[in-house]
Copies of this chain bind each other. A is one copy, B any other.
Amino acid sequence: MNTFQSTLESFQKREDALKAREDPFADGIAWVEGEIMPLSQARIPLADQGFLHGDLTYDVPAVWDGRIFRLDDHLDRLEASCHKLRLFLPKPKEEIKQLVLDLISKSGFRDAYVELIVTRGIHSIRTLDMSPAKVEPNLYLFVTPYVWVVPMALHSHGAAAIVTRTVRRIPPGAVDPTVKNLQWGDFNRAILETQDRGAQAPFLTDGDSNLTEGSGFNIFIVKGGVLHTARRGVLEGITRRTVLEIAEDEKIPCHVEDVPMGLVYSADEIFICTTAGGLMPITGLDGQPVADGKVGPITSKFWDAYWALHYDPKLTIDIMYG
């Protein structure tokens, strides 16, 4: 994290500019049924099955310093998630892409959290007929200022994680975690336990003593110069993919397989990753330091590489602000 100080300072400047804004979109902007409005005024039908039965998928790209990162990858995953649910994108992908770019432009946010939600829409409660011909999916979009799962100021020293004792991850045989979903019952319990135990990030097991993921983030364990991350029972995160690509570039081996908890507790380094905050060093686990309790060299290297990629024209699109 040689670049930590400069990254933090330039972000801070942009955030200060944001704080000065008093316009209606300053806290967030939404797109619902063709209309654009402040997020706080956006409403969806009560009868949408996305609300009434959690029947939806979503995706979250982010904007960093005026560029959106890997938007096409997020849109491809959203489409793939729809197909796994026997849903489909309610509009052509290119049109959704343009809607997203326009909404960000209108938001004025130089750093933004962008959420796209596709629900199964409105059909009568408990109908058994979910055939595609009978379905009219709904699309909801919103953009808020950039979200940090762990506050950026903590990144230089690392955050504290816990392995949750009161809750396990929903298994993939029940709900497929590769279809990004908002059924956060397990994560919500995990967040409460994290708060109780004075930490910042919950790690959930698969109920069989393997590590899965946390509340909206993937987890990487570094041991003996090798990266480990869970293969199964987790979201195939775009940030996770970026980490795997950096590992390939850097010729650092990465094992994507079961991660037994024994490995987690004997890690040299741990970091978590998500679009909402990028890579975050974890330097405490269950109240104990991870190794020497300092941010490790591999975490630092990936942290720097991750943010550098946010200026790579191959992975980013410049937002044209109005």
Give the interface of A toward B (CB within 8 A). Answer: 28, 30, 32, 39-40, 42-47, 50-55, 85-86, 113, 125-126, 128-131, 140, 142, 144, 147, 149, 167-171, 173-176, 181-189, 191-192, 194-195, 200, 207, 215-216, 276
4 smallest beta-carbon distances between A and B, as pairs: A175-B185, A43-B43, A183-B183, A42-B46
C-alpha spacing A207/B189, complex, angstroms? 22
Q: Are A182 and B46 in contact (CB under 8 A)?
A: no
Number of chain copies forming the complex: 2
Shortest distance from the beta carbon of A273 to any chain B beta carbon, whole Å: 15
Contact B182 A51 (CB under 8 A): yes
- Asked whether B47 lies within 8 Å of A40 as measured between CB atoms, the reply is yes
In the assembly, what is the distance between CA of A170 and CA of B176, in Å? 11
Distance to closest chain B CB from A39 (angstroms):
6
B192 to A185, Cβ gap below 8 A? no
Task: Tell me the nearest residue of chain B to A205, going by C-beta.
Answer: B173
- State the CA gap A194–B175 with chains docked (Å): 16
A171 cross-chain contacts in B, Cβ below 8 A: 168, 170-171, 174, 207
Q: Do residues B47 and A51 form an inter-chain contact, with CB atoms below 8 A? A: no
* B-chain residues with CB within 8 Å of residue A194 when the two chains form the complex: 128
Q: Please, which residue of chain B has its CB at the minimum distance from the CB of A204? A: B174
Tell me the complex Cα distance, A52–B187, Å.
12
